[in-house]
Structure 1
Amino acid sequence: MRTPGNFGRLVAASAGSNLADGALQTVMPLVALSVTRDPGAFAAVTLVGRLPWLFVALPAGALADRLDRRSTMVRVNLARVAILAALTAVVAADRQELWMLYVTAFALGVGETLFDTAAQSILPTVVTDHGRLERANSRLYAVELTANQFVGPAVGGLVGGLALAAGVGASTVAYLFGAVVLVTLTGNFRAAAPAVSSIRRDIVDGVRYLAGHRLLRALACCVGISNLASTATFAVFPLYAVRPGPMGLDGAGFGLLLASVAAGSVAGSFLVEPMTRRLGPRGALILAMGASPGFFVAPALTAEPLWVAASFIVAAAVSVSWNIITVSLRQRIVPNHLLGRVNAGYRLLAWG
C-alpha cells in the first residue's frame, strides 16, 4: 500500500471533503431556518439534497468508468466551491430565499453522488496490493467518519452560530482544500479507453453484471433489507428518545446519543482487519449483520439512555465491518472498467 504517497493524499483529500459535508449538515439547516419555520418546507431542503442518489447514481457510475476518476473528483469539488461561494455571498447580503436553498441542495447532492462514486472506485488504483484493501478502507472510513460526523458538524455549528455566511464559507474552503490535494495524486486514474457505447448501454452492462453476480447480488439485498429496517426505526426514534418520549432526552442529549453510533463506527473501523483475519470475511459479515439488531432491541427493552448508548456503540463497532468488507470485496473482484457502475448500482439498491 502506498503510504504516505497517493494513499495519504487521498485520505487528506477525503478528510477535507468530508469536513465540508459534515459542516453543511449543521449549516444548511441553520440557513433554512433563517428563511422559513414551516416544517414541510424546512424538511424539503434535506429531501431535495438526497434525491440525486435516486436519479443520478447509475449515470454517475457510468461516468466514473468513462472518465478519469481523480479529474472527476477535482472538478466536482471545484463546482461545489463555486456553488457555495455564491451562496456565501448571498447569505452575507442576507438575500437568501427558499428556492435558492433547494437549488443549492440538489446541486450539492449531484456533486456528492458523482464524487462518492468516483472516490469509492479509485482506491484499487491507489492501493495496488489488493490484499490490503480492508486496511486501506478501514483507515479511510475512520477519517471520513471523524470528519463527517464529529469535526464537521461541530465546526459548522460553531462558525455558523457566529455568522451564517462564515459557516458556508468554511465548507467552501474545505472543498477547495480537497480539490488541491487531489491534484497532487500521480498516475492514470481512467478505468479504460474512452467508450464508444452510449451511457444507457453502460448502465445496462453494470446492472446486468451486478444482477448476475450471485455474491454481490445477495450482499446488496441483505444490506437493503437491513437499511430498510434501520430507516424505519430511526424515522420514529426521535419520538421515543426526546421528551416527552420515554427516554426523556433534550436536544443535546439526543445529539450525544446519535454521536455514540459514530463513535462506535470509528472505533470498530480499526477492528475490521483483525476480525477478518480471525473469522474470515464470511464469519465477519455474519457477525456484523447479527450485531445490527442491537440498534433496535435495546430501545425496545429499556428507556435508560446509558444502556441504549452502550448498545449503539457495540452494535456500530461490530456492524461497521460490513461496509468495509463488502466495499473491499467489490474493489477486489469487479473488473476495474465496471467498478463505478457496480458500486453505483449496489449503493442504489442498498439505500433505495
Structure 2
Amino acid sequence: MGRSFGYLWWSTGASNLADGVLKIGAPLLAVSMTRSPALVSLVAAAGTLPWLALALHAGALADRADRRRIMVAANLARTAVLAATALGACLGLLNLWLLVAAVLLAGVCEVFADLTAQSVLPMTVAREDLTKANGRVSTAQMIGNDFVGAPVAGLLVVALPAAVFGAPALLYAAAALLLLGMRGAYRPAAPAGGRRPLRREIAEALRYLWSHRILRSLAITAGLLNMANSAYFAVFVLWAVGDESRMGLEPGQYGLMTTAFAAGAVLGSLLSARVCALFGEVRTLLGAWLATSLLLLAPVAVPSAWVLYPTAVLWGMTGAAGNVLVISTRQRLIPAELLGRVNSAYRLMGMGGMPLGAALGGLAAEAAGIGVVLTGATVVCLAAVALVWRALSDRISGTLTSEPTLSDISRSR
C-alpha cells in the first residue's frame, strides 16, 4: 500500500504501545495509592475529558493544516509531558494528583494525534484499500495497546513506577520520527470559496453529521456505548485487582487480561472484511455491538480469571470488527474536504460522554457497589444497540449476499 502508509503504520504501532503502557499503568498506580472508586475513576475521566473539550477544534485544524505535522507535534508534546512526569516519579514526587494531571495532558495530545491520523490515512491509500488499511492499523493498535503494552505496564508498576511514564515518552518520540519518513503533501486543499471563520466551518460539520441519518445514528449509539463502557472499566480494575477485589488478581494478571483482549482484537481486525463480505456491513456491525454488550455480563456473573480471559478474547474480536467497519464507513461517506471536522464531530458525540461515564461510575460504585455499576453499564449498552437496530431495521432485510452496504444506505437517506 505504499511507503508512506508503512511509516504511518509503524508510527501507529509505536504510539499505541505507549498508549497501552499508560492506559494500564496509570490505573494500576492509582489503585496502589487509593481504594476509593471515585478517586480511581478520576484517572479514566482525565484521559477522556479532552475529547469533550477539544475534539471539534482538533478536527477543524486537521482540515486546515498539514496533517502529518500536527501528528508530529502532538507526539513530541506527549514526550515532553511524560518525560517530566517520569522525572517527578524518580524524585519521589508522584502522587494521585500528579498522575491525573499527566494523564489529562497526554489526553489533550491524543485528541489531536488520533483525529488527524484518521484523516491522513485516506491520503496515503486508495479508496478501495481503506478497509484493508484500517484493519492493519487496528491490528497495530491492538498489538501495541493491549498485547504488548498492557503486560509490560503490569510489570513496570511493580518493578519501576517511573518507567510507566518514561517508556511511553521514548515511544512517542519514536512515533514522531517515523512520521517524518512519509513523503507527499498532507495539507487538505482549500475550499473553492476560501477559508471561512473557524466557528462557521465547525458548524457546517455539525449540520452535516446531524442531517446524515446513518452517521447520526451511529454516533449516538457509539456515544452511549462508550459512556457505559467508560463507567464499567473505570471501576472494573477494583473488581479484578487486589486482595479486596472479587477476583483477587495481581497487577501482572490484569495485564494478561488486556493481552487476551488484544489477541482477539487482532483476529477481529484481520477477519472484519471477510465477515462483512459474508453477512453484509449492517448485520456485521449490529451483531458485533450486541455480542460485545452481552459479554460484559460474563465477569460479573462469574468473577473468575478462567472466565475473564476467554471473555476478553471475545471482547477484542467483536469490538475490533465493529471499530474497523465504523471507521472505514466514515472515511467513505464523509467528503474529503469535511473529513477532519465531521470525524471530530462524530468523535465528540462518540467519546464526549466517556469522562462523564467514568465519573458517574466511580460515584455510583461508592454509593451502590461496583457490581451494580457493572450490571447497569451493560443494560445501557444493550439499550444503545436496540436504538441503532431500530434505526437500521428497514435496511437489514434481504439475502446475506444482496444486503446493501452503509454507503448504499447513505445515498437513499
- Counterpart in the other structure of 2:72: 74
Pairs within 5 Å for 1:222-241? 222-234=221-233
Q: Distance in 2 between matches of 1:41 and 1:303?
A: 23
Residues 184, 54 of structure 1: alpha-carbon distance in 2 compared, 3 angstrom cutoff = same
What per-residue deviation string (whole Å, max 9, x for no partner) do you get for residues 82-124 of structure 1? Answer: 2223223333333445554443322211101111000111110
Three-state SS of the structure 1 residue aligned to 2:14 is helix
Q: Unaligned regions of 5+ residues in structure 1, if any?
A: none
1:330 lines up with 2:330 in the alignment:
yes
What per-residue deviation string (whole Å, max 9, x for no partner) do you get for residues 294-335 of structure 1? Answer: 313545665565345434433531342211011101111211
- Counterpart in the other structure of 2:8: 10
- Counterpart in the other structure of 1:318: 318
Three-state SS of the structure 2 residue aligned to 1:293 is helix
Q: Distance in 2 between matches of 1:141 and 1:82?
A: 26
Residues 179, 350 of structure 1: alpha-carbon distance in 2 compared, 3 angstrom cutoff = same
- Alpha-carbon distance, 1:70 to partner: 0.5
Given residue 226 of structure 1, which amino acid in structure 2 is its aligned partner? L
Residues 169, 318 of structure 1: alpha-carbon distance in 2 compared, 3 angstrom cutoff = closer
| Corresponding residue pairs, total | 348
Q: Distance in 1 between matches of 2:30 and 2:286?
A: 42
Contact kept, 8 Å, 1:268 with 1:317, in 2: the verdict is: yes
Residues 159, 259 of structure 1: alpha-carbon distance in 2 compared, 3 angstrom cutoff = closer
Question: Which of 159, 162, 165 is the equivalent residue of 1:168?
Answer: 165
- Alpha-carbon distance, 1:340 to partner: 1.2
Worse-matched range after superposition: 84-93 or 11-20: 84-93
Contact kept, 8 Å, 1:134 with 1:325, in 2: the verdict is: yes
1:214 lines up with 2:213 in the alignment:
yes
Contact kept, 8 Å, 1:247 with 1:305, in 2: the verdict is: no
Q: Distance in 2 between matches of 1:308 and 1:159?
A: 22
Contact kept, 8 Å, 1:294 with 1:311, in 2: the verdict is: no
Given residue 210 of structure 1, which amino acid in structure 2 is its aligned partner? L
Q: Distance in 1 between matches of 2:235 and 2:25?
A: 24
- The percentage of counterpart residues that share the same residue type is 38
- Counterpart in the other structure of 2:56: 58
Q: Distance in 2 between matches of 1:71 and 1:349?
A: 26
Three-state SS of the structure 2 residue aligned to 1:164 is coil
What per-residue deviation string (whole Å, max 9, x for no partner) do you get for residues 199-231 of structure 1? Answer: 222211111111011111122223333334444
Q: Distance in 1 between matches of 2:340 and 2:296?
A: 33
Q: Distance in 2 between matches of 1:179 and 1:237?
A: 33
Given residue 140 of structure 1, which amino acid in structure 2 is its aligned partner? V
Worse-matched range after superposition: 311-320 or 246-255: 246-255
- Counterpart in the other structure of 2:90: 92
Question: Which of 119, 122, 130 is the equivalent residue of 1:121?
Answer: 119
Pairs within 5 Å for 1:1-352? 1-2=1-2, 5-29=3-27, 36-37=33-34, 39=36, 40-96=38-94, 99-127=97-125, 129-159=126-156, 161-193=158-190, 196-234=195-233, 248-251=247-250, 253-299=253-299, 302=302, 305-307=305-307, 309-351=309-351, 352=353
Q: Distance in 2 between matches of 1:235 and 1:169?
A: 24
Q: Normalising by structure 1, report the TM-score.
A: 0.87
Q: Distance in 2 between matches of 1:94 and 1:213?
A: 52
Contact kept, 8 Å, 1:16 with 1:178, in 2: the verdict is: yes
RMSD over equivalenced CA pairs, Å: 2.9
Residues 177, 323 of structure 1: alpha-carbon distance in 2 compared, 3 angstrom cutoff = same
- Alpha-carbon distance, 1:79 to partner: 1.3
